[in-house]
Chain A
Amino acid sequence: MGVVTSIEDIVGSLESGMTIGIGGWGSRRKPMALVRAIYRSALTDLTIVSYGGPDVGLLCAAGKVRRVVAPFVTLDSIALEPHFRAARQRGAVEFTEYDEGMFMFGLLAAAHRLPFLPTRAGLGSDVMRVNPGLRTVRSPYDDGEELVAVPALTMDVALVHMDVADTRGNGRYLGPDPYMDDLFAKAAGRCFVSCDRMVEPGELGGPPQTLLVSRMHVTGVVETPGGGHFTDCHSNHGGQGRDEMFQLHYAASAADPEAWAVFADRFLSGDEAAYQESVQQWREEGR
């Protein structure tokens, strides 16, 4: 069962060298408050497992990452993630590049304690070349088909962001897509849930199929209003989804070292409350 905790205590329980899974997809429902806290922590040498978005970008920018495990890194409405690009082009991060279906099979294997799951995805592509450790497996039945044996994407810790969670760590999503957050929760030794709004047990409401993450897989839960900002969350930015204006500002700043220094100083040098306040000020200036 999850205990109600704080952003600082969650990040304080992480260690350098860990493998950390991050839920969401691209620039959608990312646990950004937790990512921002890792950004300003002393952690280093992390392996990040993610359907990558600005979470991967920010952590690359801060030099926290040794290896990225991902099928893509994108901001969705902006195709390419500037910090991730720069890190790859500098040779600053190692990269385990999977097809996005392979990646899901890796999560499914880890979530269900299997060493691997077989799939056709990856066969014939350079995913096999750039991941020389990948193995294939032959069907033991008459068809004898050869398939990719996607290894379990096990991780030390998973971080996911829910629209609503209760104080036990049960989490509910309100948007149209659960992404793979429940699989991340099951695949990790420990899972931490951040949420826009925290309620008492029994008060999550809504259709039961929107209850995505169960307390049985959750170590800690923290309320972080706007904690998914600037990614696409049902609950933030007045229900408008992704803060496209702010994402544009992020991407433009990330593409230029001087602009990035200004951005980082303004938005990322304080705690989460300071971040939310700076964003609010930035928005008011823009009006």
Chain B
Amino acid sequence: MSATRAEICVVACAEAWRGDGEILAAAMGTCSILGARLARLTFEPGLLTTDGGALLTAEAVPFGAPAGAVEGWLPFREHLWLVQNGRRHVMMGASQIDKRGNTNISAIGDWPQPKSQLLGVRGAPGNTICNPTSYWIPKQSTRVFVPKVDVVSGVGHDRAAELGPRAARFHDLRRVVTDLAVFDFGTPDGSMRLVSVHPGVEVEQVKAATGFDLTVDGDVPQTRQPTDEELRVIREVLDPKGLRYREVKA
């Protein structure tokens, strides 16, 4: 079976939680939510996932489906305590992200009177300083991958380093998945590195969609293909209606 770009993205998101064991896989965005549930249904069965609301589902459920049987209760207050507790790896979205992994979901322009007011910082400050954090960005461009974010909602490596090793000991940026590629921060100064490009994407294309100097080490491999079983789970179980294609075109 051959996979679509959206399915490559779902699997690349799922890979973020590999090896995490029994923690909450918290996800925002369709491919990210599908990725969390796919990981749970395949290579990372210990993960906990929600119905998109306050319920921890007994089994990973299809996107948008009712919770069915539940194994736990996670209303917002408990979710916010869990952030402090730490048994959680979150994959957030970002309207802007910079080379050191600072992210912005708050506002574009000058904060006192922004050109474009977005959501507000939401949980990004706490998430990034307390939990392993990854990002899912459905449409990579130089508008999103910027030299400097306008408002630091999610804390990047330079800001964490300024805090010192004690205050930043739970700061742990894992990976960034976009519609084009996968990135991490595995460089000496914690700046962003290209890990793999999705099948059909050239390295130059990724560089052109990045508004800062990207670390590229030698030959860049391709993001792995989904297995037949992964494709079956995505197509028949988790997302039979193809909602993933609203985020990443087929």
A residues lining the B interface (CB < 8 Å): 25, 51-52, 70-74, 79-80, 84-85, 88-91, 97-102, 104, 119-127, 129-130, 143-147, 176-180
Contact = CB atoms under 8 A, between A and B. Distances in A.
Contact of B160 (A102, A124, A146): A124
Given A126-B106, A177-B75, A120 B121 contact: no
B80 A130 contact: no
Contacts of B168: 123-124
B130 A85 contact: no
A74 B117 CA distance: 11
A180 B123 CA distance: 16
Contacts of B171: 124
B114 A88 contact: yes
Given A97-B106, A100-B122, A121-B126, A80 B77 contact: no
Contacts of B80: 100-101, 104
A120 B124 contact: no
A122 B53 contact: no
A176 B54 contact: yes
Contacts of A102: 125-126
Interface string B23-34: 000000000000
Interface stretch (B149-157, B178-186, B203-211): B149-157
B16 to A, nearest CB: 22
Contact of A25 (B76, B114, B121, B126): B76
A121 B130 contact: yes
Nearest to B67: A176
A146 B171 CA distance: 15
Contacts of B106: 97, 126
B117 A85 contact: yes
A145 B170 CA distance: 13
Interface in B129-167: 129-130, 151-155, 159-160, 162-163, 166-167
B120 interface: yes
The 3 closest A-B pairs by CB, nearest first: A121-B126, A72-B120, A125-B125
A97 B121 contact: yes
B77 A73 contact: no
Nearest to B55: A176
A89 B115 contact: yes
B10 interface: no
A104 B77 contact: yes
A260 to B, nearest CB: 17
Contact of B123 (A73, A79, A91, A100): A100
